[in-house]
Amino acid sequence: MLGAKKNSKNTAKSSKALPPGKYRMGGAHFKDDDAFIRTAVRDVKRLEKYANLNADSSLLDWGCGAGRLAVGVREHFGRVRDYHGVDVQAELIDWANANLAAPGFRFTFVDVSNERYNPDGSPERTLSAEPGSVDVFYAYSVFSHMNDDDTPAYLTLLGEALSPDGRAFVTCFVEEGVADWEENPEGYGPFDWKGRLHCTRFSRRHFEDHVASAGLAVDRFVYGRETDGQSLYVLRRR
């Protein structure tokens, strides 16, 4: 009986896998397991509230890392119809596929170029999603590391991928009265930004012009309350 209990405990532990600290993108506070899970569940609940996420949704987690949001989905819903995590960092996707992939959960490595995270990737852009197939799109701290050519191109792909009633939940650095786009702006935010695309900042007007050109509209905007002072947008098809 003791042996059976021990095996049951090990099975339960493996089914609740969390990424190791070195794979937890997004800040030092994510190194704490409780904070990692709590913030993931918080974002899933926000997707439920602002983007209509539910158990029947198709959810595209674009820039998923090692699957933080997937952990939140697992904790809050158990599963949704289709959680699809996509990232340009192969090592993180390999970990997620080995530890988090399950019915309703899948992960895809896309070898596309990003000067910070995958500089040798292909210049061909893709979301790895069929047109009209995504009910909820989530991109946390992704446009905050993107150049001003990729941004409008990916927003256009996002507009094509959303289902008619779909919503996109994205964060980025936007400010009033600044240059249209700037890489690693000096004296801005909590860090001394270093390296390619560590921080990319848009003027609010410029980013929202990209949004409109992509056939999208702003459903919700909250200034400066996300990680490192990013702002939140909830977008929909026009």
User: What was the pLDDT predicted at 27?
Assistant: 61
Angle at 235 between CA 229 and CA 237, to 5 degrees: 165
Largest CA distance in the chain: 68
| Containing structural domain, residue 95 | 30-237
Total domains, the chain: 1
Residue 228 in domain: yes
Is there a domain that residue 17 lies in?
no
Decide: 190 and 157 in contact? Cβ < 8 Å. no
Quote the pLDDT of residue 70. Answer: 97
19-64 per-position pLDDT tens digit: 886 777 766 656 688 888 999 999 999 999 999 999 999 999 999 9
Q: Which of 12-21, 104-113, 160-169 has the lowest mean pLDDT?
A: 12-21
Cβ-contact 75, 40 below 8 angstroms = yes
Residue 14's pLDDT is: 37
Query: Which CATH number goes with the domain that contains 121?
Result: 3.40.50.150
- Dig out the tokens for 207 from the structure: 């980013």
Residue located via tokens 């690693």: 184
pLDDT band at 88 (very low <50, low <70, confident <90, very high): very high
pLDDT bracket for residue 197 (50, 70, 90)? very high
Report CA-CA distances (Å) from 84 to 60, 105, 115, 127, 138.
5, 6, 23, 11, 10
Identify whether 4 is part of a domain. no
Decide if 21 is inside a domain.
Answer: no
Residue 133, in any domain of the structure: yes
Q: pLDDT grade, residue 199 (50/70/90)?
A: very high
Residue pLDDT, tens place only, 156-180: 999 999 999 999 999 999 999 999 9
159 domain residue, yes or no: yes
Does residue 10 form part of some domain? no
What is the crossing angle of helices 33-50 and 68-76, to 10°?
70
Number of C-beta neighbours around residue 26 at 10 A: 14
Domain membership flag for residue 101 = yes
